[in-house]
Amino acid sequence: MVLNRVRAVFFDLDNTLIDTAGASRKGMLEVIKLLQSKYHYKEEAETICDKVQVKLSKECFHPSSTCITDVRTLHWEEAIQETKGGAANRELAEECYFLWKSTRLQHMILAEDVKAMLTELRKEVRLLLLTNGDRQTQREKIEACACQSYFDAIIVGGEQKEEKPAPSIFYHGCDLLGVQPGDCVMVGDTLETDIQGGLNAGLKATVWINKNGIMPLKSSPMPHYIVSSVLELPALLQSIDCTVSMSA
């Protein structure tokens, strides 16, 4: 009998299964075009988008008290005012935000090879989508990339008391799938949330998707495995199970 084989895989969403960063860049390019063609901005258009990108990266909000639409429209409003001066222009900020958002969602696609991988994996193990972030934002992405049918359960951090890397959200995932932490593998692109969370919860293994081949800081959490693409996962899972059966 093979002991303790992988029974479940937890997947992050953004920049693990879908190219959120790439989709966001395409959204920014559309806004730059709008500002240059309709409003005759020149290099200020790029400056505004750069400022918004910085604001997005520093975002911190409490789901119960904040509407993400208001937060992100304000990013655009502030960036425009910081760049152009003058009175706040809420109308233009809204136009930029909704163009960025709609373009971004159009490009959030679950690639065919990723769909095929999830379909094959689900024949062998249970699959959980475990994503941090604002409830509305993440649910819109899930809807846009139509990934619901590939998973046994979906957890959005903004709908829970705690997000990754808190162990509680991982234990909740285990409960939904009817597995133990030691049966599970966490796959994601962020060391501080996906990998640290998997380690905190005592999962069987953590897999870091390192697309750009960056060197982690010495202080960063150390994943059990590193791959450059999520498509390398099936072979890796087989090798993990082989190691288990040999040690058994």
Cα(36)–Cα(28) distance, integer angstroms: 12
Judge whether 2 lies within some domain.
Answer: no
Going by the DSSP 8-state scheme, the letter that residue 161 receives in this structure is S
CATH number of the domain within which 29 lies: 1.20.120.710
Q: What angle do CA 58, 64, 65 make, to 5 degrees?
A: 70
Same domain (yes/no): 73, 150: no
Judge whether 248 lies within some domain.
Answer: no
Q: Per-residue confidence of the chain (248 residues) as pLDDT tens digits?
A: 345 799 999 999 999 999 999 999 999 999 999 999 999 999 999 999 999 999 999 987 665 667 899 999 999 999 999 999 999 999 999 999 999 999 999 999 999 999 999 999 999 999 999 999 999 999 999 999 999 999 999 999 999 999 999 999 999 999 999 999 999 999 999 999 999 999 999 999 999 999 999 888 889 999 999 999 999 999 999 998 876 555 54
Cα(159)–Cα(106) distance, integer angstroms: 24
Neighbours of 85 (CB within 10 A): 7
The predicted pLDDT at position 173 comes to 98
Neighbours of 104 (CB within 10 A): 21
Amino acid at 63: P
- pTM of the complete model: 0.93
Judge whether 35 lies within some domain.
Answer: yes
Same domain (yes/no): 146, 191: yes
Residue where one domain finishes, among candidates 61, 82, 107: 107
Instruction: Look at residues 19, 67, 44 and name the one whose alpha carbon lies nearest to residue 189.
Output: 19
Neighbours of 165 (CB within 10 A): 22
Cα(181)–Cα(167) distance, integer angstroms: 10
Same domain (yes/no): 85, 173: no
Residue where one domain finishes, among candidates 53, 82, 107: 107
Judge whether 1 lies within some domain.
Answer: no
Same domain (yes/no): 66, 158: no
Going by the DSSP 8-state scheme, the letter that residue 18 receives in this structure is B
Same domain (yes/no): 36, 83: yes
Judge whether 3 lies within some domain.
Answer: no
Same domain (yes/no): 168, 87: no
Judge whether 247 lies within some domain.
Answer: no
Cα(153)–Cα(177) distance, integer angstroms: 7
Same domain (yes/no): 187, 214: yes
> What's the start-to-end Cα distance of the chain, in Å?
8
> Would you state the structure tokens that stand for residue 176, as one six-digit string?
């939904």
The predicted pLDDT at position 91 comes to 97
Same domain (yes/no): 142, 222: yes
Residue 39 CA: distances (Å) to CA of 28, 48, 82 = 16, 13, 17
Cα(137)–Cα(141) distance, integer angstroms: 6
Same domain (yes/no): 75, 140: no
Judge whether 225 lies within some domain.
Answer: yes
Amino acid at 226: I
Judge whether 158 lies within some domain.
Answer: yes
Going by the DSSP 8-state scheme, the letter that residue 14 receives in this structure is B
- Order of strands, sheet of 126-131, starting from the edge strand that comes earlier in the sequence: 153-156, 126-131, 8-11, 184-188, 205-209, 225-227
What is the per-residue pLDDT across 109-120, written as a single tens digit (0 to 9) for each?
999 999 999 999
Same domain (yes/no): 193, 129: yes
Number of folded domains in the chain? 2
What is the per-residue pLDDT across 26-75, written as a single tens digit (0 to 9) for each?
999 999 999 999 999 999 999 999 999 999 999 876 656 678 999 999 99
Same domain (yes/no): 14, 35: no
Residue where one domain finishes, among candidates 65, 92, 107: 107
Q: Which residues have a Cβ under 8 Å from the Cβ of 39 and sit 6 or more positions away? A: 92
Domain span at residue 219? 8-19+110-242
CATH number of the domain within which 216 lies: 3.40.50.1000
Same domain (yes/no): 129, 237: yes
Question: What is the full DSSP assignment across 180-241?
Answer: -GGGEEEEES-IIIIIHHHHHTT-SEEEEE-TT-PPPPTTS---SEEESSGGGHHHHHHHHH
